[in-house]
Structure 1
């Protein structure tokens, strides 16, 4: 019976890796789609109102999650008042801040430069995770993050279309997103709360919508009412909201399967894709130096994933050895009474 365990463990590890990387690639695709659509809506279609756009997303997500739960396709995990106040509200507030500042940055910066700035998020997530205890500080991880940071710094050097307001908005978005992702990981893993993506969105999206609705009402709504050139393209906004709903579920699913840091390091792969698409679709300028920097960052990402797989293999190996040790211990304890029951010539047990 023990002979089947190694093959079974290897198959289990393979399935686990397939699920994790499947979630990762799904998130990369949806994230790229949402970013490109949002850039088009805000900068090209004639609707330069990031808070209104994010309000639309969160309203759709709230309604969609509510309908999915009420139709019986998913169950809602009960949340205590203490958990709601200590986890859901902060996550909703940070999520609102992330969406607002991130979308607003597209009014000032190109997609390619924003992705370069976003790629610094693994550094921030790593530091925040160490502070919250969700990530363990090691010299390998720290050195790997330094390599990623150096690559991103090289790639960001010499940006032609530099607008300070846009950079500050994107920096605020990175900070909010890093803390939010870590808090989501604490909610899903550290506190032992089992929630599926729909259930998580069911609790967080309405809270996020409320935090966004206030600045929308007092800041953007009066401007929209007075803007004679505003173009409210309902099908385009609806498509953007559907993509955002799918992306939000993919985010929670990916964090639940891996970690916030893993998701943000995978974001560097997404950055490569988006930089290429931004050159093709929006005519963004990308220099050879920027590509060289991203190549360094990409190498750091691949090495991080290699270390992660090696750690998973070591854990699997430890699980395999534990039953074997238990079996040897049980078999030896079963033999000991038989040996000791046989008297030696001196009358003492052997």
Structure 2
């Protein structure tokens, strides 16, 4: 049973890695190389897929019990979180038009440090001091390569139910924004589809991957922990950088590679610290 449990967890992590790297590289290809320069519309497609697939997973497949919004205040909090999430994803997608995947991933790799801090502030659950110490190389390595980023957290609903409610609200935010800021985007998308039907499959695959990123986030967190998921993300970033260099020929400086090496070193130290603290 222990071996099968480890294999299951390994499979979940592999699926999480694949969907995360897949959606990142496909976003980069569509927005930068293919020439589909509409990040707001692309994010809206993601949220539409998340709305539909979340409902199927919860209401039909019963993957988790359906949770309800219990108050107007809770709805407003979810709406606010959805808005912040939309802005974050849209800005991240916009950055892929102009930045190499390596830099984009470097920015996101400092989140374990802030996740640990905010987890303590919100839940008062503190990791072992050795765990915090091992996160220092992670943060230092990324600062060498780039800058900082924070993520919003929510504790009211499990992440699958939270996505079920956030995604449709996000579509409500993104649809008028896309129509106003990305002029004639629907007509352009239809024209592209007539000229090259592959764009439809790219968008469908990209949107499905965006949902599976969230699904595997939930499953991996359930079988490990939120902080472990964030630290695993640093190694994912390093893999994404290597793959992006091979596919897109992105130049990476010696300093940037030094930063990533230090980040991966921090990931290894963190894993060892978690093992010792759990004994």
Same-fold call, TM > 0.5? yes
Of 256, 271, 279, which residue of structure 2 is paired with 1:290? 256
Of 57, 82, 98, which residue of structure 2 is paired with 1:92? 82
- CA drift of 1:56 comes to 0.7
Give yes or no for the alignment of 1:272 onto 2:238: yes
Q: Which moved more, 1:285-294 or 1:241-250?
A: 285-294
Give yes or no for the alignment of 1:234 onto 2:196: no
Matches of 1:201 and 1:103, distance apart in 2: 19
Say if 2:179 and 2:185, in contact at 8 Å, map to a contact too. no
Q: Which runs of 5+ in 2 are unaligned?
A: 194-198
RMSD: 2.9
Instruction: State the partner residue of 1:65.
Output: 54
Instruction: State the partner residue of 1:160.
Output: none
CA shift in 2, pair 1:83/1:29, >3 Å: farther
Give yes or no for the alignment of 1:218 onto 2:187: no
> What's the CA shift string for 1:154-188, capped at 9, x where partnerless?
344xxxxxxxxxx8xxx5xx32xx12xx32xx235
- Number of aligned residue pairs: give it: 273
- CA drift of 1:264 comes to 1.6
- CA drift of 1:280 comes to 0.9
Q: Which moved more, 1:143-152 or 1:17-26?
A: 17-26
Q: Which protein shows a greater Rg? A: 1
> What's the CA shift string for 1:129-158, capped at 9, x where partnerless?
2321265165323322221122223344xx
Instruction: State the partner residue of 2:169.
Output: 207
Normalising by structure 1, we get a TM-score of 0.69
Instruction: State the partner residue of 2:98.
Output: 108
Normalising by structure 2, we get a TM-score of 0.84
Matches of 1:82 and 1:118, distance apart in 2: 33
Say if 1:200 and 1:252, in contact at 8 Å, map to a contact too. no
Matches of 1:311 and 1:138, distance apart in 2: 6
Say if 2:128 and 2:277, in contact at 8 Å, map to a contact too. no
Of 36, 42, 67, which residue of structure 2 is paired with 1:53? 42
Give yes or no for the alignment of 1:79 onto 2:69: yes
- Please give the secondary structure, in 2, of the residue aligned with 1:106: helix
Q: Which runs of 5+ in 1 are unaligned?
A: 1-10, 157-166, 189-194, 315-350
